[in-house]
Structure 1
Amino acid sequence: MTALTLRNVVNVEILQEIQERFSDATGFGVIIADEQGVPVTRPTNFTSFCTHIRSSEKGLQCCIASDRKVGLIAAEQGKTVIHYCHSGLVDLAAPIFLNGKHIGSVLCGQVLIEDRDEKQVDLIREKTKHLPIDQELLQLYFEKIEFTSQKRIETATELLQLVANYIIKMGANYLAQEELNEKNQKLMEEMQARARLEKLLQETQLKVLQSQINPHFLFNTLNTISRLAYLENAEQTQNVTYSLAKIMRYSLRNIDQLVTLKEELDYTKNYLNIQQSRFRNRIQYEERIDVDIETIKMPILSIQPIIENAIIHGFEPQDSRIVIKIHGFLKDDKVVLEISDTGVGMTEEKVSSLFLDSSVKKNSHTTGIGMNNVQKRIQYYFGEEYGITVVESRPGVGTMVRIVIPNSGGVPV
């Protein structure tokens, strides 16, 4: 079994890419370190002040010790913490756990907080004057340290924890794969019994992070949050951030379980909240549900891909508004969900193409979950009589998709 270290269970280049995209979205300096504070990745967007300090062996060891200290504090508290580094700058640290063991931290910051840290300036100069580096140059770099708001720090704290959870999930999947390789023949037979669902999950591109949102969508959203934070005084930003956090938590759930209709609708509303912010509220959403959403069960991510299809194909090419409606009701003791939009509509040929295999039809701006995949998963759980039964669309008028599932939620066939 591979030793349980951050370098062994997660590809370092993938960590580097995650780190760089987070830094691009937030503007903070970021680094990922092991449990001893030793860097695993190359620093991203570090201030000249911190880079100059780390250029000396003594300064580097001070930084490593500081990162180790804040990483341990975060591990003890089990959450992202705000901390002052050995030089006196504000740093954030989110702990990375695997199998109950602290294996590292994601760290960012290298800023000072407005209306709180002005008195830190002289203290920082005092703390760094003993380092064997060019002190005049260090003072020039110090003058460029950014003062930021408490609100921005709090928002970054939430996002940093999501990044740490993302890394934890990758490490957990790696260990799970190793354990599978060591299973005996009895477990292999059990895996074969689940082969159809495993193959289907791969087709829907939900492997590794179990329906994690496509990284393009995730980091485009992070960039949207960053722009909103710059332009606003943060109420809308807070709402978008909250919706993204809910999406992340939901998408990290077990993909082979059924969820309630309420959970699917809540997920869809969080997704639409982000899209409404992106398109400046040109998307209107209406919902009328006449069934018990707490007891109806369905496969995870069955509604959102259809909503996404309406936005990508029925709305993005034009500048007008679009109304998306979901109507849920009972018919012949079955649950019917009709998802309609007032978008540009489609030809019959376009409607047929919606059911192409997701491996054939790829779009880097979407989750990659096609309607054909939604259909296969519903029918896998409930049988051939269920799934997407109708797609009606007229160019210039809009589209309606009808999903039928069992009234009681049923059990897998």
Structure 2
Amino acid sequence: MDLKPKSLFHLIEEDKLVRIIETFTKATDITIDINDALGFPVVQHDYFYGFCRSIRSKEVGLKRCINSNAELGFNTLTQGNSSIGKCHAGVMLMAVPIIVDDKFYGSITCGQMLLEKPGAKEIEDMLAATADLGLDPQDLSKTFQEIQVISMEKCQAAGGLIQFVVSYIVELIYRANRQEALSKEKLKAAEDARIIIELEHTLHRAELKNLQAQIKPHFLFNTLNTIISLVTLGDNAKGLNTLFALSNLLRHNLDHPEELVPLREELHYVESYLLIQKNRFGDRLELTIQVPEDLHDLQIPFLSLQPLVENACIHGLEPKEGLGHLRIVAKKLNNDVEISVIDDGVGMSQHYYTLDLSQEHPLQAGIGLRNVHKRLQLQFGPGYGIRLLPEQGLTTVRLLIPLQEG
């Protein structure tokens, strides 16, 4: 049998244990203590009186009382049931063990009783045992003789009643233990759910950053091609200007690690990008931006518009002869915002309008669009993203995101 298990008394509300002691004392005029496996009372109470209260008022006396309870409590293990003996001061004690699942958790001891009226010898022994406590011997003698005398029959009846009390306490422990186990299971389930959510969030953020990282090299590759072409053609001045512009854009990238930026910053980034494209288009590119002032603070994934503008420039406007127009238009749609990138270039192949942007595509024009679409859905949900709309003489790519309040 385990003699030093972890205490389970903490599972029971203290006021319940105090009520048990109070009820038993009032019913029998015998005071009980509920002790842990080491003999220490698990709750404090004021139901000791007279002689026992005087002894317990001294620190040394209280320690001796606790030791007496512990010793008698351990005796119940060898006897298998209640045990009767005397405390350090000669008062009758009876103990009943508290055993849960074959483990000794403590005992209930009852005292403040004698089986017979104390004689001179008993009083002398008591005074000798308590002489070092600094208590008045006459007062101790008086209160010692006032301790109630009960018959063995009543003592055994009290023991039977304590057995019922022990059974009730064990049931409380079982019930509280089950409740604690259920609470731990619920906490573990909640913790597991939290960990899963955090993991999903981490993977979600990792996928967003991975997609954004795909866009940056894609843009860089195209811009470096522009610089190489200019240098190859001998236009070193334009090549150098383009390189400076690219340097500014890359610095802008490094200064924005956030996933979301205000729409005004994204538009500024697009304007910087088009300054680079001006070196290729010359006067053949005209830009119009129509975005209401109250949408400038709208939060949008970084590098969401530039790939759409790049797509319009490379696949629509660059092959076109003569002046090309590029418009960026934003407007509210109930609780959403629609941002359109419209060009009047040669248009994309009809094949691109049937692409499922949720799937991988080997086609170069589909890479940037798919990445933006996927990032928008990861950020805002499956109801958002981009759509390709063919119109008479125009190519429109519409980006839909939620309207954020505040």
TM superposition score category, shorter chain reference: 0.3 to 0.5
Higher relative contact order (CA 8 A, sep 6+): 1
- The structure whose residues are more often helix, as a share, is 2
Q: TM-score, normalised by structure 2?
A: 0.45
Quick check: which has more Rg, 1 or 2?
A: 2
Q: TM-score, normalised by structure 1?
A: 0.44
